[in-house]
Amino acid sequence: MKSWQRIAAGRPPAGAGSDAGGASDSDDTRSGFDDLRRSLAGLLEREPDSPLLVRASLEALLDAFVTRAQQRRGALGLVVFELDDWKALRERAGESGFASHISMFGRELRRRVRSSDEIGRFGEGQIAAVLPGCEPQTLGAVSERLRAALEALELAFGAQTLRPSIIVASLSASPRPGSSGPARLLEELADALDLASR
């Protein structure tokens, strides 16, 4: 069982207010995920000068987190943020400039999530957030709050300043045994993101 939220830029999910708050702070959920994350710390690789995990490390962390959620029935939210028209932005800024801006988005996202959350590279123009303890009923509101904060940022290309729009796809991983594994969850997120961007 999975709870889906597909959110196109500028269209908040039903019931997502400005005071929606963050994810659940259950000690059982948070401490269990924190311990697991610490045990993996030495194996996780980040992009240079960035808080973002590389895709392989994101998948390794998600694999461990999904297993833990299924065993202990802990909530786990997954969200992917995509820069709208990121290919055009990359052409305009160049590879190094675009990488710099993605890192900036990563730093801004890191400031807006909890210490128990993790962020990583999902695709060239996409950043994923893994939100342990984020219950299905709050995931949409949390996603929208983060989307609005990132969309308020400005990208500077020489004398030109652009404000990107952000497309969001999110889902809550089921803690029930036999539910989708991490690879399938990532595929489903990609599918949801593709639908949201149409």
Query: What is the C-alpha separation between 133 and 30, in angstroms, rounded?
Result: 6
In the predicted model, what is the mean pLDDT of residues 68-79?
82
Give pTM, 2 decimals: 0.77
Lowest pLDDT segment from 5-19, 61-75, 108-122, 184-198: 5-19
Looking at the structure of the chain, the number of domains it has is 1
The pLDDT, as a whole number, for residue 145 is 93
Q: What would the pLDDT profile of 143-159 be if each residue is shown by its tens digit?
A: 999 999 998 888 776 66
Note whether residue 3 is domain-resident: no
Domain range for residue 170? Answer: 22-196
Query: What is the C-alpha separation between 151 and 9, in angstroms, rounded?
Result: 9
Q: What is the mean pLDDT of the chain?
A: 77
Note whether residue 4 is domain-resident: no
Note whether residue 7 is domain-resident: no
Q: List C-alpha distances in Å: 78 to 72, 128, 134, 181.
A: 17, 7, 9, 13
Query: What is the C-alpha separation between 151 and 84, in angstroms, rounded?
Result: 10
The CATH code of the domain that includes 52 is 3.30.70.270
Note whether residue 85 is domain-resident: yes
Note whether residue 1 is domain-resident: no
Note whether residue 28 is domain-resident: yes
The pLDDT, as a whole number, for residue 29 is 52
Yes or no: say if 68 and 181 are a contact pair by the CB < 8 Å rule: no
Of these ranges, 55-59, 72-76, 91-95, the one predicted with the greatest mean pLDDT is 55-59
Q: What would the pLDDT profile of 3-31 be if each residue is shown by its tens digit?
A: 334 333 333 333 333 233 343 444 445 56
Radius of gyration of the chain (CA): 16
